[in-house]
Each structure stands twice: as C-alpha cells, then as structure tokens.
Amino acid sequence: MTSYDKQDKTFEVTWKRKIQRLLGVYVLSLSVVFVSTHASADVYVFHDGGGAAYFTNMPGEGRLKVRLPLKREMPQTKARKTEKALKVFYDTRGADFEPVISSASELFAVDPNLVRAVIKAESNFNPTAVSPKGAMGLMQLMPATAREMGVVDPFDPVDNIHGGVAYLSWLLETLKGDVALALSAYNAGPSRVFGQNRIPPFEETRNYVDTVLNYYKYLKGKNKL
C-alpha cells in the first residue's frame, strides 16, 4: 500500500495532467475553428513541451501536415475485445483434450462447454501453465485444491481435468446451480462466496466471470445440435 505522501504526489500529478489535457483540447478547438475557415490552405500541427496541440498554416521544423476534419480513433471497448477473443477461441491444442473433457463432464454432471470455457480462461489449454500464485495445469488448481480433489499430478491433463471438473461440480451443487457464483468461487475461493450470495467486489474476479461466461455462451451456441 502506498504512503499518504505518495498518494498526494500522485493526485497532484494526475490533476496537472488533466489540466494540461483540458488546455490542449481548448487550444485545439479554437485552432480548428480558425483553420477550418481557411480550408484551401495547408494545415500543420505541432506540440509544446506540455503536450498541448497547436495548428497553423505555416510550415516549419517539428510541424506535421494534417488533413481536416480530424478523426479521433476510439479505444476498443470491452465488448469488442471480447468479441475478438471469441473469434480466435479455438486453440490447436484444445482438440487434444476433448476425450477427457467429455468423460469428466459426464462423470461429474457438468456441461462440457462450461469446462472448455474455464480451461480457455484459466490456461488457454496449456497443461504446464503455472500462475504467479501457484495455480497449476489446465484448470489452474491451487495445491490445496488439488490435494482435496485427489489430484496426484496437476500437470497430467487427465488428472488435472478430472480434479478441476470435480471441484467445479461441487461448487455448482453447493451454490444451487448458479454458474456465475460458482465461477466466482472457483476464482476467488469458496469462503469469499459461500453465504454472501453475490460475486465478490474484486475486479479480477468480475472480469474472470465475464470472460468465462462469454466463452460459455459462445460455445453453447457453436456446439448446439
């Protein structure tokens, strides 16, 4: 956790940058109004030391010729990023694990599409994946969870998937089939979900649940008979 001094400094720097941006936008607006009345002339843009943009019809060093009207590219929305990820969902390694996904899903009564979605989000079908927190294998089992589920080798795909699906099945059963809550518990731990009846207020967990549910929805539609 940062100190109060660092927080104050960060606050000050942030507001300085906001002011610079506001000034830049103000100057930009005035400049565009001016140069737009001289559409036949060439227009050049340059920036001062604070990052503010200025327009002129005079060429010079450090001045770039631009074409009006200017178009600002909007940042990718979360929905667009998700859509892009879904289009490249299938990994060539994913097909290798289909038999064990099907068998484990049938054994523990879990939708195989949900299992595929979890594996995609957890490890991107990498059986040797290890997270900074120590989660292992395809379904990113923590050491304690792996032991509880009887997983001997978390890097063995068969062992890992059976343990992960068994764990997911238990969470679904305990949470009365609520997929979002079960995924929250899978990510953040059961103690943060059981008895709360809500997704924990952690950005990582909320993003994780959204990602898996989007994958799940996509797969259910794609694999619908």
Catalytic entry in 61, 83, 122, 204:
122
Go through 106-128 and write b for each residue having 16 or more CB atoms within 10 A of its CB, e for each that does not: eebebbbbbbbbbbbbbbebebe
Tally Cβ neighbours within 10 Å of residue 35.
Answer: 19
Give the whole-angstrom CA distance, residue 114 versus residue 122: 12
High-pLDDT (> 90) share of the chain, %? 52
> How many CA within 13 A on the CB side of residue 90?
8
Task: Look at 46 and 17; give whichever has higher pLDDT.
Answer: 46
- Please say if 61 is a catalytic residue: no
pTM of the predicted structure, to 2 decimals: 0.62
Query: What is the reported pLDDT for 57?
Result: 78
Give the whole-angstrom CA distance, residue 207 versus residue 193: 16
Q: Which amino acid is at 23?
A: L
pLDDT digits (tens, 9 = 90+) for 141-193: 999 999 999 999 999 999 999 999 999 999 999 999 999 999 999 999 999 99
- Model confidence band, residue 58 (pLDDT cutoffs 50, 70, 90): confident
Following DSSP, what letter does each residue of 162-210 receive, concatenated?
HHHHHHHHHHHHHTTT-HHHHHHHHHH-GGGTTTT-S--S-HHHHHHHH
Query: What is the reported pLDDT for 60?
Result: 79
Give the whole-angstrom CA distance, residue 182 versus residue 179: 5
pLDDT digits (tens, 9 = 90+) for 191-214: 999 998 899 999 999 999 999 999
- What is the SS3 assignment for 81? helix
Q: Which amino acid is at 202?
A: F
Query: What is the reported pLDDT for 21?
Result: 45
Residue 4 has pLDDT above 80, yes or no: no
Residue 26 has pLDDT above 50, yes or no: no
pLDDT digits (tens, 9 = 90+) for 81-96: 555 555 545 556 788 8
